[in-house]
C-alpha cells in the first residue's frame, strides 16, 4: 500500500488525518463521491453471491467442537460430551446446542488438512502457503474476487475485512491484495488506528457524525489551500469519499438494527479475548458482515476471538471453550437464521475455520497445543447441500481416516459459489506469469454441490 | 457465627476478561478483584459501584489483598508483586524474582510477610515492607498452583501440579513436611484462622483437611469434577470452595460436611473471598464475572 505521511493532525473526533488517508489508500481505487452518491440513490438491492469468512484466530480444538472422541482415553477425550443434532447420526459439542439444532444447514468438515502450521490468518485468507509465493504474493480470496468481478455497486468495496488490529499481527491479517493489485486490498476499518474501530464508529464516530463531516470539510478546505492533497492521487481522495458515504458507514453501524436483532446476536465484551493478543469475541462483527453483504460486499472476512488455548495460567482449553463456545454458538446461529430469514442463505456462503487443529493429548496445563495434521471447518449457506459431515478422523482425532479435505478444496468451493471456475481461471502475477486461483488438482467439494 | 443456610446474590460485577482473585478490605466496605484483563477493580460492597481501577500489571492479576494504611498488594502472571497506594491508585512498589508465571500468593494477618508460587516450581517469601525476598523454597517438581501462609507468617504451605502439598518453615527456610493424597493437581490451600488446620482442594474434586503438622484429618469428595479455590470464614466454622462446575459450596468445618451448594458461575470459580464479618461472600469466575452474595442463616 502506498502511504504518504502527512503532518500529524487530529479532528475533533480524535481521528487523525493520517488514519483517514490510510483508509482511503487501502481499497477504493477508482471510486469517487459521484459513484457513491449514485449507488446510494439506487433503489432496491439486487442480491449477489457473497462469502462471509469467520477466522477463529489461533486454531479451534476440532475434537472438542465438532469431532468429539468420547471413547478415547481420558488424557485425550476432554471434558465435554457430544450431543445429538437435528441430523440423525451427527453429534457435536454439548456447548453448541443452538448449532446442533441447525446442523441440517451445516457441512462439517472433520478432516481439514494441508495446514502449514503457521500461527496466521494467511492460509485461511488465501488458501496458500506463505512460503514460495509468486511475484507480488498470493491474493486473498476477497482480493481475487475484487479483481475478477469488481464492485457490486459503486460505493461499496467488494472486499471488506472486519478483523481488528492485534498484538499478534498475523492473526489480524485482513487479507493481502497480492498480485491482484493494491486497488483490490480490503477495506479494513478495524485494522487501522484505534480511533477508527467498528465500535468507535457506532458509538463515538457516528454519534458525532455531523462534527466529523464538518471536520472533513475543514480539512478539505485547509488541504486545498495548502496544496497538501495535490499529487496524492485518487486513492487518497477516495478516503474522503468513503468517510462521507453513508452507505458504507451505515452498513458498519450495527446500532441501526432493531433491538431484537441485536439481542439475537448478543452483545459481547469489546475487550480482547484470552491473552489480549488477539481480537475480541464480538458477535457484532457477524451482524456487520451481513449488513456489509447487503450493502454490496462480495467477501467479508473477520477474525473472531482467541482460540489458541495452550492452557493455564491463561485458562485451560476447556475453560476457554466454555467461554467462547456459547458466544460463538449464539452468534453463528444468529447469522445463519438472519441470512435465511432475509432470503440470503442461497447467495451467501459462510465458512468458519482456523489455521489448524489441536493436539489430541491434553498437556500438563490443561491445554491443547498446535496440531496441523488435521483440523475442522464448517460451511453454511451458498445454496449448497448441507446436513452432512465430510471426512473423519481416527479414534483419537490424530489424523484423517477418510476423505481428507485440503484448504484449497474449500477455496475452490467458495470460488465456485461466486461463479468463478477456479480450476481454469488465472490471474497474472507481477512477473507476468498466469497463476491459478487454486491448484487445479483441487476441485470444488462435490459433496456440497 | 453459624454456618450459612442460604445465599442471596446482591451484586453481579464484571471484568473485561476472566477474574482470578477477590478480596474484601479489612473494614469490609470495599472489594478488590483481579483479572486476566491485567487490571484490579475496586468495588463498593454496599452499592456494588465500581470505584476505581488499578492498572500496571503486564499480564493477568492472580492475587489481591488489602494491607493496612490504605494499601493493597497484588501479584500477576507478569511475575510482579505490587503494593498500591489506594489514595493515589499508584503502585508504590513493584518487585519480582520468579522466573516464570506467578500464579498464586498469600499474605499473613498483619500484612508484612507474603508468599508466592510460580510455574518455575518455586515458592518465595517476601518482606512486604522492604520488598526483599527472604526465602526461596524449591522441591516441587512441577508448577506451583496454590500457596497459603499462617496468620503469624511462620509457616507456608504450597501445592501444585506434582500433586503434593509441602509445608515450609519460614524461619529455618526448610521443608517440614510433604503431604500426599490428592490424585491430581493441588489447586487451592488455606489455613484455618487459628492456624491449627490446613485445607486443600484439588483437581481430583476432593477437599482435604490436614493438621498443622501435616497429618491427614478428613477427605471429602465432591461431584464438582475439579475444585479450584478455597477460603475460610473468619470464625473458622465454615469454609467455601469453588470448582470447574461453577458451583459455590459451603462446608461445615466442625461436621466435615457440605452444608450448601449454589450454582454460581457459568465457568470455573477461580477466586473466593469472605467478608471479615462473615456477612458476604465474593466469587470470581473465568466467566468474567464476580458475584457478591449476602449470607443468611
Per the model's pLDDT, the better-predicted residue between A30 and A433 turns out to be: A433
Mean pLDDT confidence for B90-96: 97
Residue B102: pLDDT over 90: yes
pLDDT at A202: 40
Q: Which of A414, A376, A358, A353 is nearest to A57 (CA)?
A: A353
Best A77, A313, A319 member to test B by mutation, with max B CBs in 10 Å, is: A313
Write out chain A residues lying below 8 Å of B266, CB-based.
Answer: 322, 326
What pLDDT is stored for residue B35 in this prediction? 97
pLDDT at A309 over 50: yes
pLDDT in tens, B125-150: 999 999 999 999 999 999 999 999 99
| pLDDT of amino acid B292 | 98
Could B16 and A271 be called an inter-chain contact, meaning their C-beta atoms sit closer than 8 Å?
Answer: yes
The verdict on B100 touching A (C-beta cutoff 8 Å) is: no
Give ∠ CA A339-A61-A120 in degrees, rounded to 5. 80
User: What tens digit of pLDDT does each residue of B172-189 get?
Assistant: 999 999 999 999 999 999
Residue contact B36–A319, C-beta within 8 A: no
> What's chain A's average pLDDT?
84
CA B138-B139-B144 angle, to 5 degrees, is 80
Mean per-residue pLDDT, B75-104: 98
Chain A contact probe: residue of B14, B286, B288, B289 with most A CBs at under 10 A: B286
Q: Contact A273/B38, CB-based, under 8 Å?
A: no
Kindly tell me if the per-residue pLDDT of A308 is higher than 60: yes
| DSSP designation for A191 | G
Asked whether residue A215 carries a pLDDT value surpassing 80, the answer given is: no
pLDDT surpassing 60 at residue B115: yes
CB-CB neighbors (< 8 A) of A75 in chain B:
none
Asked whether A23 and A189 are in contact (CB, 8 A), the reply is yes
Chain A residues with CB under 8 Å of B77 CB are 313-314
Share of chain B above pLDDT 90, in %: 98
What is the structure's pLDDT at A200? Answer: 38
Q: Rounded distance, CA B18 to CA B35, Å?
A: 6
- Alpha-carbon torsion B100, B101, B103, B109, what sign? positive
Give yes or no for residue A401 having a pLDDT over 50.
Answer: yes
Chain A nearest-CA residue for B145: A313
pLDDT of residue A201: 40
Q: Is B63 near chain A, with CB under 8 Å? A: no
Residue A366, min C-alpha distance to chain B (Å): 11
Phi and psi at B247, nearest 5°, equal -95, 130
pLDDT at position B105 over 80: yes
Residue B241 sits at the chain A interface (C-beta within 8 Å)? no
Chain B residues touching A267 at Cβ < 8 A? none
- CA B245 to CA A299: how far, in whole Å? 40
Candidate from B36, B145, B225 with C-beta closest to A314? B36
Average pLDDT over residues A173-195: 84
pLDDT of residue A193: 43
C-beta of residue B137 within 8 angstroms of C-beta of residue B175: yes
Nearest chain B residue to A273, by CA = B17
User: Residue A216: what pLDDT?
Assistant: 56
Question: Does any CB of chain A come closer than 8 Å to the CB of residue B242?
Answer: no
Confidence of residue A239 (pLDDT cuts 50, 70, 90): low
Residue A19's pLDDT is 33
User: Using the beta-carbon criterion (under 8 Å), do A323 and B103 form an inter-chain contact?
Assistant: no
- Residue A161's pLDDT is 96
A312-364 per-position pLDDT tens digit: 999 999 999 999 999 999 999 999 999 999 999 999 999 999 999 999 999 99
pLDDT level of residue A36 (50, 70, 90 thresholds): very low
How far is A191 from A195, CA to CA, in rounded Å? 10
Q: How far is B268 from chain A (nearest CA, A)?
A: 7
- The stretch A171-194 carries a mean pLDDT of 87
CB A69 within 8 A of CB A93: no
The contacts of residue A260 (CB under 8 Å, 6+ apart) are: none
Greater pLDDT, A34 or A369: A369
Find the mean pLDDT for residues A25-49. 46
Q: What is the pLDDT of residue A4?
A: 28
Which of A199 and B2 is assigned the larger pLDDT? B2
What pLDDT is attached to residue B2?
87
Instruction: Output the pLDDT for position B224.
Output: 79
pLDDT of residue A220: 56
Q: What is the pLDDT of residue A192?
A: 61
The predicted pLDDT at position A46 comes to 60
Average pLDDT over residues A145-158: 92
Name every residue in A having a CB less than 8 A away from some CB of B: 79, 269-276, 312-316, 318-319, 322-323, 326, 364-365
Helix (H, G, I), strand (E, B) or coil at B277: coil
> From residue A105, how far is each of A67, A97, A368, A385 by CA, in Å?
17, 14, 29, 8
B16-58 residue pLDDT tens: 999 999 999 999 999 999 999 999 999 999 999 999 999 999 9
Q: Which residues of A touch B37 (CB under 8 A)?
A: 271, 276
DSSP state of A74: H
Q: Residue A317: what pLDDT?
A: 97
* pLDDT classification of B196: cutoffs 50, 70, 90: very high
Q: What pLDDT was estimated at residue B258?
A: 96
Q: Could you tell me the CA-to-CA distances from B15 to A141, A190, B39 in Å, in that order?
A: 37, 23, 9
Sort out which chain B residues have CB atoms less than 8 A from A326's CB and list them. Answer: 266
Residues of B in contact with A270 (CB under 8 A): 16
Tell whether the model's pLDDT for residue B167 goes beyond 50: yes
pLDDT of residue A198: 39
Put simply, the answer to whether B267 touches A322 (Cβ < 8 Å) is: yes
| Structure confidence at residue A199 (pLDDT) | 36
Question: A323, A74 in Cβ contact below 8 A?
Answer: no
pLDDT of A77 strictly over 80: yes
Residue A223 has pLDDT above 70, yes or no: no
pLDDT-derived band at B297, boundaries 50, 70, 90: confident
Mean pLDDT of chain B: 97
pLDDT, tens only, B234-286: 999 999 999 999 999 999 999 999 999 999 999 999 999 999 999 999 999 99
| Residue of B35, B17, B110 lying closest to B66 (CA atoms) | B110
ipTM score of the complex? 0.94
In B, which residues are within 8 Å of A312 by CB distance? 103, 143, 145
- DSSP code, position A10: B
* Subunit contact B268:A313, Cβ cutoff 8 A: no
Is the CB of B266 less than 8 angstroms away from the CB of A322? yes
* Predicted pLDDT of residue A240: 57
CB proximity under 8 Å: B 126-145 to A: 142-143, 145
Please give the average per-residue pLDDT across A424-447, as a whole number.
97
Residue A44 has a pLDDT of 46
Q: Which of A79, A313, A319 sits opposite B101 (nearest CB)?
A: A313
Would you call B244 and A315 a contact, using CB atoms and an 8 Å cutoff? no
HEC profile for A262-312? HHHHCCCCCCECCCCCCCECCHHHHHHHHHHHHHCCCEEEEECCCCCCCEC
Given a cut of 90, whether residue A397 has pLDDT beyond it is yes
Q: How confident is the model at residue A18 (pLDDT cuts 50, 70, 90)?
A: very low
Distance CA B179, CA B200 (A): 10
- Residue A93 — very low, low, confident or very high, per pLDDT cuts 50/70/90? very high
Percentage of the residues of chain B whose pLDDT score is greater than 70: 100
pLDDT at A24 over 70: no
Position with higher pLDDT, A46 vs B130: B130
For the segment A162-182, the average pLDDT, to the nearest whole number, is 93
B60 touches chain A (CB under 8 A): yes
B287–A323: do the CB atoms touch at under 8 Å?
Answer: yes
Q: Is the pLDDT reported for residue A144 higher than 50?
A: yes
Q: How many CB pairs below 8 Å do chains A and B form together?
A: 57
Q: What residues of chain A lie within 8 A of the CB of B140, using their CB?
A: none
Amino acid at each position: 500500500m502506498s502511504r504518504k505521511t502527512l503532518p500529524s493532525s487530529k479532528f475533533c473526533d480524535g481521528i487523525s488525518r493520517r488514519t483517514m488517508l490510510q483508509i482511503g489508500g487501502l481499497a477504493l481505487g477508482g471510486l469517487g463521491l459521484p459513484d457513491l452518491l449514485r449507488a446510494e440513490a439506487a433503489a432496491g438491492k439486487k442480491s449477489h453471491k457473497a462469502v462471509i469468512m469467520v477466522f477463529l484466530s489461533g486454531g479451534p480444538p476440532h475434537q472438542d467442537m465438532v469431532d468429539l472422541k468420547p471413547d478415547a482415553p481420558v488424557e485425550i477425550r476432554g471434558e465435554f460430551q457430544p450431543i445429538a443434532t437435528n441430523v440423525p447420526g451427527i453429534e457435536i459439542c454439548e456447548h453448541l446446542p443452538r448449532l446442533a439444532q441447525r446442523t441440517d444447514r451445516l457441512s462439517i468438515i472433520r478432516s481439514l488438512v494441508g495446514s502449514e502450521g503457521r500461527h496466521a490468518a494467511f492460509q485461511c485468507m488465501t488458501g496458500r502457503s506463505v512460503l514460495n509465493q509468486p511475484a507480488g504474493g498470493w491474493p486473498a480470496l476477497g482480493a481475487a474476487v475484487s479483481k475478477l468481478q469488481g464492485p457490486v455497486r459503486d460505493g461499496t468495496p467488494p472486499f471488506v475485512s472486519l478483523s481488528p488490529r492485534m498484538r499478534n499481527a498475523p492473526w489480524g491479517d485482513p487479507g493481502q491484495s497480492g498480485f491482484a493489485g493494491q486497488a483490490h486490498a480490503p477495506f479494513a476499518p478495524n485494522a487501522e488506528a484505534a480511533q477508527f474501530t467498528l465500535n468507535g464508529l457506532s458509538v463515538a464516530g457516528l454519534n458525532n457524525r455531523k462534527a466529523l463531516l464538518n471536520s472533513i470539510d475543514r480539512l478539505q478546505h485547509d488541504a486545498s489551500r495548502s496544496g497538501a492533497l495535490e499529487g496524492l492521487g485518487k486513492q487518497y481522495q477516495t478516503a474522503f469519499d468513503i468517510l462521507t458515504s453513508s452507505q458504507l458507514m451505515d452498513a458498519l453501524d450495527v446500532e441501526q438494527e432493531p433491538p431484537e436483532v441485536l439481542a439475537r446476536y448478543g452483545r459481547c465484551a469489546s475487550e480482547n479475548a484470552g491473552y489480549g493478543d488477539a481480537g475480541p469475541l464480538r458477535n457484532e462483527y457477524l451482524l456487520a458482515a451481513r449488513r456489509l453483504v447487503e450493502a454490496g460486499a462480495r467477501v467479508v472476512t473477520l477474525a473472531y476471538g482467541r482460540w489458541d488455548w495452550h492452557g493455564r495460567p491463561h485458562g485451560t482449553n476447556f475453560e476457554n471453550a466454555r467461554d467462547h463456545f456459547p458466544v460463538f454458538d449464539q452468534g453463528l446461529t444468529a447469522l445463519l437464521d438472519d441470512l435465511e430469514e432475509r432470503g440470503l442463505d442461497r447467495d451467501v456462503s459462510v465458512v468458519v475455520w482456523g489455521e489448524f487443529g489441536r493436539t489430541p493429548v491434553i498437556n500438563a496445563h490443561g491445554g491443547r497445543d498446535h496440531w496441523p495434521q488435521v483440523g475442522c471447518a464448517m460451511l453454511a449457506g451458498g445454496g449448497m447441500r448441507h446436513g452432512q459431515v465430510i471426512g473423519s478422523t481416527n479414534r483419537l482425532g490424530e489424523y484423517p481416516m477418510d476423505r481428507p479435505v485440503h484448504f484449497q478444496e474449500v477455496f475452490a468451493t467458495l470460488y465456485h459459489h461466486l461463479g468463478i471456475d477456479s480450476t481454469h481461471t488465472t490471474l497474472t502475477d507481477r512477473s507476468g506469469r498466469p497463476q491459478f486461483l487454486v491448484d487445479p488438482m483441487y476441485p470444488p467439494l462435490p459433496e456440497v454441490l | 457465627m453459624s454456618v450459612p443456610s442460604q445465599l442471596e446474590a446482591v451484586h453481579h460485577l464484571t471484568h473485561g476478561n476472566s477474574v482470578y482473585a477477590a478480596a474484601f478490605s479489612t473494614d469490609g466496605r470495599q472489594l478488590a478483584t483481579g483479572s486476566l484483563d491485567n487490571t484490579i477493580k475496586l468495588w463498593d460492597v454496599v452499592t456494588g459501584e465500581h470505584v476505581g481501577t488499578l492498572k500496571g500489571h503486564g499480564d493477568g492479576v492472580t492475587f489481591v489483598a488489602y494491607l493496612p494504611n490504605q494499601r493493597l498488594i497484588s501479584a500477576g502472571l507478569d511475575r510482579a508483586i505490587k503494593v498500591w497506594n489506594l489514595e493515589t491508585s499508584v503502585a508504590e512498589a513493584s518487585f519480582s524474582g520468579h522466573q516464570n508465571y506467578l500464579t498464586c500468593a498469600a499474605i499473613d494477618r498483619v500484612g508484612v510477610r507474603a508468599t508466592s508460587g510460580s510455574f518455575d516450581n518455586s515458592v518465595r517469601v517476601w518482606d512486604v515492607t522492604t520488598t526483599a525476598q527472604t526465602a526461596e523454597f524449591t522441591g516441587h517438581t512441577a508448577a506451583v498452583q496454590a500457596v497459603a501462609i499462617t496468620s503469624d507468617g511462620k509457616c507456608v504451605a504450597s501445592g501444585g501440579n506434582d500433586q503434593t502439598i509441602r509445608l515450609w518453615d519460614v524461619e529455618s527456610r526448610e521443608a517440614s513436611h510433604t503431604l500426599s493424597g490428592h490424585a491430581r493437581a493441588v489447586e487451592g490451600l488455606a489455613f484455618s484462622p487459628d492456624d491449627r488446620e490446613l485445607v486443600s482442594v484439588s483437581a481430583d474434586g476432593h477437599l482435604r483437611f490436614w493438621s498443622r503438622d501435616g497429618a491427614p484429618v478428613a477427605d471429602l469428595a465432591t461431584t464438582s469434577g475439579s475444585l479450584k479455590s478455597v477460603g475460610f470464614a473468619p470464625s473458622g466454622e465454615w469454609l467455601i470452595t469453588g470448582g470447574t462446575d461453577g458451583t459455590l459450596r459451603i462446608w461445615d468445618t466442625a461436621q466435615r460436611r457440605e452444608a450448601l451448594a449454589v450454582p454460581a458461575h457459568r465457568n470455573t470459580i477461580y477466586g473466593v473471598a469472605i467478608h471479615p464479618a462473615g456477612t458476604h461472600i465474593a466469587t470470581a469466575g473465568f466467566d468474567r464475572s464476580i458475584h457478591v452474595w449476602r449470607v443468611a442463616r
